[in-house]
Amino acid sequence: MFFGKEIPISVDIGSAYIKIARISENRTGSELTLFDYIEMPLGTIVDGIIEDKGSATQALTDLVQKNKLKSPNAILSVSGHSSVIIKKITIPKMKEEDLANSIKFEAEQYIPFDINDVNIDFQITGDTYQGSDQMDVVLIAVKKSIVKDYLDVVESAGLTPVIVDLPHFAVSNIFEHSYGLFENETIALINIGANSTNMNILKNGVPLFTRDTPIGSIVHSEALMQEFDLTAQDAERLKRGLTIANVQPENAEYTIISASEEIFADVQRSIDFFRSSVSEEDISKIFLSGGVAMTKGFASVMAERLLIPVEIINPFNNLKISDKVDETMTRQYASLATVAIGLSLRRPGDR
Ligand SMILES: Nc1ncnc2c1ncn2[C@@H]1O[C@H](COP(=O)(O)OP(=O)(O)OP(=O)(O)O)[C@@H](O)[C@H]1O
Ligand SMILES: [Mg+2]
């Protein structure tokens, strides 16, 4: 248990927004005691890589100062489809501490990078089948250079990083907290942000398949800019439902939903790949998070295209919102906040 100032805050550094959150536990359960966000200047993060550390640090510093946070510990997530590998592997059964010693050797054959250039973590998910002498392990490898960039930004903003996580696991943590395990059903958690889509297909809480693709609301921005001859800033305003001179809101909505076909096709490809390479089981439901989930009509059209029910994750099923937090804003931005809220469930020392 962490009390008072020791409770870490979470920092979700995205290419469109930085989000921060904090969850405290008390006798009556968990409570969100912080949520806020700030825009990330365009071009600061490209392809999951922080191209402009100064501007990312400035944005995070502004957010930290606005919330009067004094050098707290931070849980952060790193992203980047070309720098993060999550893979399910099958290896002979062994104890967790033995695997911790040999994981580098085990991982070498699965990682397309020099093993010395990556941070490796793993999670034993269970026996391959009942009575098997093999076990399934989720292997996670993240390029050290990417982690370092995120750590540099967080430290330069005056925070002390204590945990580095991935958006997939942050989403599955808050999903489980909100909905339980969804036993015996194969479900897909899909987090769609500005430039990336993180997919995690799970059964009984165990990840069967994860994938990152470099697609997101950027396709909406590009379509709006082209269709109505707009700047990126005006496209961003339209996506948030604000009005822009000479653009009818219904025309903008039509353009956004049409451009979404590219995202649906990407998700379909990932699901097809899962079904051909991992399991033929049908996915019974998609749970959506990320800023794109806030796009009017997106979830319902997605369900029609993929022929799978789509529900937007509500992170507040089992989480109170403290009166220190702006509840209306937080509920409105719940999809944007999901990763940050999931990260803030983590505690140092957890596995
Ligand atoms: N109503 C809305 N309010 C805010 N953002 C919205 C809204 N509707 C759509 N969006 C889009 O959602 C995206 C932001 O979502 P999110 O914060 O999940 O992305 P991110 O984490 O910054 O991006 P990534 O993880 O891909 O780098 C932006 O592209 C934004 O335009
Ligand atoms: Mg994101």
* Tens digit of each residue's pLDDT (9 = 90 or more) over 94-138: 999 999 999 998 899 998 889 999 999 998 988 888 888 999 999
Q: What per-residue confidence (pLDDT) applies to 2?
A: 46
Determine which residue's CA is closest to atom 7 belonging to ligand 1: 240
The answer to whether residue 200 scores a pLDDT higher than 50 is: yes
Same domain, 92 and 189: no
CATH of residue 111: 3.30.1490.300
59 lines ligand 1 (CB under 6 A): no
Same domain, 199 and 271: yes
d(CA 325, CA 311): 25
CATH of residue 278: 3.30.420.40
Number of other residues whose CB lies within 10 A of the CB of residue 242: 10
Residue 196 is assigned to a structural domain of this protein: yes
Same domain, 299 and 220: yes
Question: Could you report the per-residue pLDDT of 292-327, keeping only the tens digit for each?
Answer: 999 999 999 999 999 999 999 999 999 999 999 999
Which residue from 15, 40, 195, 239 has its CB within 8 A of the most atoms of ligand 1, so it is best to mutate?
Answer: 239
Among the bound ligands, name the one nearest to the CA of residue 336.
1
15 lines ligand 1 (CB under 6 A): yes
Q: What per-residue confidence (pLDDT) applies to 351?
A: 58
Ligand 1 atom nearest to 218, measured from its CA: 29
| d(CA 289, ligand 2 centre) in Å | 9
- What band does 3 get if pLDDT is binned at 50, 70 and 90? very low
The average pLDDT across 40-46 equals 93
| d(CA 337, ligand 2 centre) in Å | 9
pLDDT above 70 covers a percentage of the chain that reads: 98
Residue 33 is assigned to a structural domain of this protein: no
Same domain, 199 and 299: yes
Residue 224 is assigned to a structural domain of this protein: yes
Same domain, 184 and 136: no
Same domain, 124 and 220: no
Among the bound ligands, name the one nearest to the CA of residue 290.
1
Residue 72 is assigned to a structural domain of this protein: no
Range with the lowest mean pLDDT among 97-106, 154-163, 258-267?
97-106
Domain that holds residue 187: 179-313
The answer to whether residue 62 scores a pLDDT higher than 80 is: yes
The average pLDDT across 196-206 equals 94
Residue 333 is assigned to a structural domain of this protein: no
Determine which residue's CA is closest to atom 2 belonging to ligand 1: 240
Query: Domain total for the chain?
Result: 2
d(CA 351, CA 160): 20
Mean pLDDT of the chain: 93
For residue 3, what are the contacts with CB-CB under 8 A and spacing of at least 6?
none
Which residue from 11, 17, 215, 312 has its CB within 8 A of the most atoms of ligand 1, so it is best to mutate?
Answer: 17
Residue 194 is assigned to a structural domain of this protein: yes
Residue 160 is assigned to a structural domain of this protein: no
Residue 52 is assigned to a structural domain of this protein: no
The answer to whether residue 70 scores a pLDDT higher than 90 is: no
170 lines ligand 1 (CB under 6 A): no
44 lines ligand 1 (CB under 6 A): no
